[in-house]
């Protein structure tokens, strides 16, 4: 059986990002504090989601992932720019997350426990992703401070 709790966790992250971050002024999101800025955290979340979505696609389709990550492991979408605002990063994260969700929803139940690279099953990778999302959201809330 597909784990609806995990899928719901992935959806919740994007909703929380939109509710807590999207409406805030860009200067506040770029305000650096110990551990970076909210913009930095969202940027890393986007990059991580792009990598995960591509790896999942490779696993499901069997088609090798094109080399789209440079030496610094920054994804090249072809549309991103150095000065992209946090709202743009959120949109890119959301597009990648929706791709991940679509693949997971269509994944046969037996495949949830099929190992990916490193011998870790897809279900365990999704659990790791949900846990990482939780940690990053805590970090964002900490960087934003009390409302």
In the predicted model, residues of the chain with pLDDT beneath 50 are: 1, 69-70, 73, 75-76, 146-147
Q: CATH no. for residue 60?
A: 1.20.120.450
121 touches 30 (CB < 8 A): no
> pLDDT tens digits, residue range 72-99?
545 445 555 667 899 999 999 999 999 9
CA 65 to chain centre: 17
Q: Which two tokens stand for residue 121?
A: 């099953």
The residue among 89, 8, 108 whose CA lies nearest residue 49 is 89
Domain holding 26, by residue range, is: 4-144
Give residue for tokens 């490779």. 58
Domain count, the chain: 1
132 touches 110 (CB < 8 A): no
């Amino acid at each position: 059986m597909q784990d609806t709790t995990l899928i719901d966790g992935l959806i919740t992250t994007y909703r929380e990002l939109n509710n807590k971050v999207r409406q805030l002024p860009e200067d506040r999101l770029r305000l650096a504090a110990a551990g970076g800025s909210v913009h930095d955290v969202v940027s890393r979340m986007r990059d991580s989601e792009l990598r995960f979505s591509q790896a999942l696609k490779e696993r499901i389709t069997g088609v090798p992932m094109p080399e789209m990550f440079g030496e610094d492991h920054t994804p090249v979408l072809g549309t991103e720019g150095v000065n992209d605002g946090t709202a743009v990063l959120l949109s890119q994260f959301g597009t990648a997350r929706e791709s991940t969700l679509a693949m997971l929803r269509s994944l046969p139940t037996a495949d949830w426990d099929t190992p990916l690279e490193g011998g870790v099953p897809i279900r365990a990778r999704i659990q790791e992703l949900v846990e990482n999302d939780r940690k990053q959201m805590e970090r964002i809330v900490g960087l934003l401070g009390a409302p």
